[in-house]
Amino acid sequence: MRPSLVGVGVGPGDPGLLTLRALSVLRQADHVLAPVMAPDAVGRAEAVVRQAAPEVAVERLPFAILGDEAARAGAHEAAARRIVELLDGGARVAFVTLGDPNVYSTFHHLARSVRQLRPDAVVTSIPGIMAFQELAAASGTMVLDSGERLYLVSAVDGAEALVHALGDPEAAVVVYKGGRHLPELAARLEDAGRLEGAVFGELLGMPGERVVPLEQVRAQPGAYLASILVPPRRSPADRP
Ligand SMILES: C[S@@+](CC[C@H](N)C(=O)[O-])C[C@H]1O[C@@H](n2cnc3c(N)ncnc32)[C@H](O)[C@@H]1O
């Protein structure tokens, strides 16, 4: 087997949502790496692996997610160098990430840095169930039907991220990374007549999970691990 780097999606948090393919890859890997905030902190993705496959050893890669730009770049570079070191030693390396590795994930950036250092590196990924899918299931929300469309937006910088998506009333809108802007996001949805049916999922699959109508929690900011799902506007006859 050639040395390789594989990004493994572990789902939103519940170990029951780790796929069989992901589990098999984690068990066969020579090294399983997980992003963490600090070397002595168990990361979210690591916690999923621990519950689903306690026999798999996880090595932590500290990412200075809350640090300044220079700290983040330094941590990122150190992580890429560690992966290159393992690849040069002939290892199959798995990097775990919440949800899916190809959607808003550190994996994509890390893989690019690894390829810059080793252009011939073999890089693949294993899909993971995403938080919004778990939120749809937990809240009983039908996301899309017939010709409806889907927007997935990052609201890390605030409610402006909604403008384009709300221009299409027949589109479902999923909002990621908007926890701290929750009141502003809810107000924007209300103005667009889209608050009804919108659901909020926080810490899905983790201790402290909340799945509630957005209306109920709109007054205060939510956690970073919070998602909003807004169904398309539907006539009463088309509602599930
Ligand atoms: C960096 S993105 C990671 C997305 C992930 N790769 C995916 O496919 O779902 C982080 C955002 O994903 C959403 N998210 C991920 N896991 C979540 C969870 N367990 N509960 C609620 N939202 C979650 C939140 O909106 C969070 O701000």
How many residues in the chain? 240
Q: What is the whole-number distance in angstroms between the Cα of residue 116 and the centre of ligand 1?
A: 27
- Take residue 139 and report the two structure tokens written for it: 């809240």
Q: How far is the CA of 12 from the centre of ligand 1 (A)?
A: 7
> Ligand 1 centroid to 87 CA: how many Å?
28
Any atom of ligand 1 within 6 Å of the Cβ of 177: yes
Q: Is 227 in the pocket of ligand 1 (CB under 6 A)?
A: yes
Residues 15 and 86 in one domain: yes
Testing ligand 1's pocket by substitution, the residue of 106, 214, 227, 230 carrying the most ligand atoms inside 8 A of its CB is 227
Q: By alpha-carbon position, which residue is closest to atom 25 of ligand 1?
A: 176
Last residue of a domain, one of 110, 126, 142: 126
Q: In CATH, what number is assigned to the domain containing residue 167?
A: 3.30.950.10
pLDDT computed for residue 78 by the predictor: 93
Number of domains in the chain: 2
Looking at residue 219, what is its pLDDT? 97
Same domain membership, residue 222 and residue 138: yes
Residues 86 and 165 in one domain: no
Q: Which residue has the tokens 């007054």?
A: 219
Nearest CA to ligand 1 atom 4: 104
Per the listing, tokens 């890859």 go with 25
Q: Are 148 and 122 in a shared domain? A: no
Range of the domain at 113: 4-126
Query: Count of CB atoms within 10 A of residue 203's CB?
Result: 19
Please give the pLDDT value at position 65. Answer: 64
Q: Which parts of 131-176 are beta strand (E)?
A: 149-154, 171-176
Buried (b) or exposed (e) across 54-79, using 16+ Cβ within 10 A? eebebebbbbbeeeeeeeeeebbeeb
Q: Are 16 and 41 contacting, i.e. CB atoms less than 8 angstroms apart?
A: no
Q: Identify the CATH number of the domain in which residue 63 sits.
A: 3.40.1010.10
Clarify whether residues 111 and 142 are in a common domain: no
Cα of 237 from ligand 1 centre, angstroms: 32
> Which residue's alpha carbon is nearest to atom 27 within ligand 1?
177
Q: What mean pLDDT comes out for the span 137-153? A: 97
Residue of 138, 129, 133 whose CA lies nearest to 212? 138
Is the predicted pLDDT of residue 105 greater than 90, yes or no? Answer: yes
**Inter-residue contact 209 to 188 (CB < 8 Å):** no
Residues 10 and 102 in one domain: yes
Same domain, 32 and 76: yes
Contacts of 144 (CB under 8 A, 6+ apart): 150, 172, 232
- Do 20 and 79 have their domain in common? yes
Task: Judge if 142 and 187 occupy the same domain.
Answer: yes
pLDDT at 173 over 90: yes
For 95, the enclosing helix (H) or strand (E) is: strand 92-97
Q: What is the mean pLDDT of the segment spanning 98-107?
A: 96
Lowest mean pLDDT among 61-70, 194-203, 210-219: 61-70
Same domain, 136 and 201: yes
- Please indicate, yes or no, whether residues 9 and 74 belong to a single structural domain of this protein: yes
Q: What is the pLDDT of residues 8-59, one digit of tens each?
A: 999 999 999 999 999 999 999 999 999 998 888 899 999 999 999 999 999 9
